[in-house]
Amino acid sequence: MSDNVKSFQNRTWKEAREAMTRGVVVILPVGSTEAHGPHLPLSTDVIISEEMSLRASDKLNTRGIESLVLPAISYSVTDFSSQFSGTISIKKETAVALIRDICISLYKQGARLIAVANSHLEPEHVASINEAIQAVVEKHRDRFIGFGSVPLQSVSDSIAIAEEAKSMGLKGLEIGNAVGDKPLDDPSFEPFFEAAQKLDLLLFVHPLEGGLDADDPLSPILGNVLQFTFRTTMMVERMIITGMFEKYPNLKLCLSHGGGLLAFNIWRLDHSYGLRADLQKQLPKKPSEYFKKLYFDTIVHSVAALRYLVQVAGSDRVVLGTDYPMAMGDFATVDKVMQLEISDAERAQLLGGNAARALNL
């Protein structure tokens, strides 16, 4: 463990109180105790979640963001391995109550950002985390709107969890830009997007980390600055040219980091469309005409870039974003919106109206 990483349980109560006052990020590792084959320990999921949490905490702390790692939750719904000795499964209601109560207790102490690091992907377990999130929302409706997650490695399970998320009151789901080596335009994901459209859930897309040379000293810089924006751009341009937004015209996507490079590269894609008969055969209109199918957050780091994004996407498609508490976030987005030469009605849309509409509030 890095010297910068701090374990919650090793703090005194006074140190914990002071950390909460400073706005510390609290990370909760969540795993399970279950069989993982003949050679792996029962605590494999717990070990992975704890390591995920420690690495995340180390990254946050090196970027000047203080964080604390909680003791891991070592039990959850583990029905898939219940026939093997050593597996300890608890009811879904118990798992929900445990995560909910921990989060609410921390909130009462002053915690404002609690991250759950989960490596146990059993569908009922993922659903229990979503339910716990909504339980916290129900307790503090004046402060929170809930988003869930889905294990897209299994499309059928993801659909079932999305349906449950909708029924319990969650307003959207967060997904990555790909699943392993599979891009989101892969036909295997189409049933999920059809379900998301039918459920009218907003899908917030955040690119995944990894894939850069760890020995390259520039990787820590360009991974966040360029890789994130490139991956988002590649993802959505693939979805456009494969006709995803023709097939699912009411699918709601919100792209992080202002949509990456899309607002600038879309014109190059339009030019290619004009030259390629195969694209014209596949799409009935230019790629740029699909902009109105998307929402974009405001994290573009300059008034000039935000002005251009609003000009291209429209004042009705841009929502506030901060990426709090990450160092690469933008915590002055309201100030940037206030500097735009737009009408008061358009400004009100950016400052909350668009988000309310996208979330069906």
Task: Kindly provide the b/e burial profile for residues 264-289, where b requires at least 16 CB atoms within 10 angstroms of the residue's own CB.
Answer: ebbeebeeebeeeeebeeebeebbbe
Residue 327 has pLDDT above 80, yes or no: no
The pLDDT of 169-180, averaged and rounded, is 94
Question: Using one digit for the tens of pLDDT, what is the confidence trace for 117-150?
Answer: 888 878 888 888 899 999 989 988 888 899 999 9
**At 213, is the pLDDT very low, low, confident or very high (cuts 50, 70, 90)?**
low
DSSP structure class, residue 10: G
**At 36, is the pLDDT very low, low, confident or very high (cuts 50, 70, 90)?**
confident
Verify cis geometry, omega within 30 degrees of 0, for the bond prior to 325. yes
Please give the mean pLDDT across all residues of the chain. Answer: 91
Residue 65 has pLDDT above 60, yes or no: yes
Structure-token pair, residue 171? 């307003």
CATH 3.40.50.10490 applies to domain 145-361: no
Do residues 300 and 337 touch, judged by C-beta distance below 8 A?
A: no
pLDDT for 342 equals: 97
Per DSSP, the three-state class of 190 is helix
Domain boundaries, the chain: 1-141, 145-361
Query: Is the entire prediction scored with pTM above 0.75?
Result: yes
pLDDT for 5 equals: 56
Question: Using one digit for the tens of pLDDT, what is the confidence trace for 110-123?
Answer: 887 888 888 887 88
- At 355, the amino acid letter reads A
SS (H, E, C) 71-92: CCECCECCHHHCCCCCCEECCH
pLDDT for 212 equals: 60
As a whole number of angstroms, the longest Cα–Cα distance in the chain is 68
Q: H-helix or E-strand containing 220?
A: helix 219-222
Residue 280 has pLDDT above 60, yes or no: yes
pLDDT for 315 equals: 96
Looking at 3.20.20.80, 3.40.50.2300, 1.25.40.10, 3.40.50.10310, the CATH number of the domain 1-141 comes to 3.40.50.10310
pLDDT for 341 equals: 96
Of 138, 143, 123, 130, which is closest to residue 173 (Cα–Cα)?
A: 130
CA atoms within 13 A on the CB side of 258: 27
The pLDDT of 330-356, averaged and rounded, is 95
The pLDDT of 208-212, averaged and rounded, is 70
Of the chain, the percentage scoring pLDDT greater than 90 comes to: 63
H helices within 293-342, ranges in order?
A: 303-313, 333-338
**At 3, is the pLDDT very low, low, confident or very high (cuts 50, 70, 90)?**
very low
Per DSSP, the three-state class of 67 is strand
Do residues 128 and 97 touch, judged by C-beta distance below 8 A?
A: no
pLDDT for 189 equals: 97
Of the chain, the percentage scoring pLDDT greater than 70 comes to: 97
Residue 312 has pLDDT above 90, yes or no: yes
Q: H-helix or E-strand containing 147?
A: strand 147-149
The pLDDT of 247-259, averaged and rounded, is 96
Do residues 326 and 301 touch, judged by C-beta distance below 8 A?
A: no
Burial of 100 (0-12, 13-18, 19+ CB in 10 A): buried
* Dihedrals phi, psi of 9, to nearest 5 degrees: -70, -15
The Cα–Cα gap between 145 and 172 comes to 9
Same fold, 1-141 and 145-361: no
The Cα–Cα gap between 84 and 80 comes to 9
Ranked by mean pLDDT, which of 38-47, 145-154, 238-247 comes out on top?
Answer: 238-247
Q: In what order do the strands lie in the sheet with 147-149?
A: 147-149, 172-175, 202-205, 252-255, 294-297, 318-319
The Cα–Cα gap between 280 and 272 comes to 10
The pLDDT of 182-209, averaged and rounded, is 95
pLDDT for 1 equals: 45
pLDDT for 253 equals: 97
Structure-token pair, residue 279? 């694209």
pLDDT for 209 equals: 75
Q: What angle do CA 143, 200, 352 make, to 5 degrees?
A: 40
Per DSSP, the three-state class of 326 is coil
Structure-token pair, residue 114? 């609690």
Of 22, 215, 10, 204, which is closest to residue 113 (Cα–Cα)?
A: 22
Do residues 346 and 315 touch, judged by C-beta distance below 8 A?
A: yes
The Cα–Cα gap between 178 and 63 comes to 26
**At 26, is the pLDDT very low, low, confident or very high (cuts 50, 70, 90)?**
very high
The pLDDT of 94-119, averaged and rounded, is 89
pLDDT for 55 equals: 87
The Cα–Cα gap between 124 and 171 comes to 19
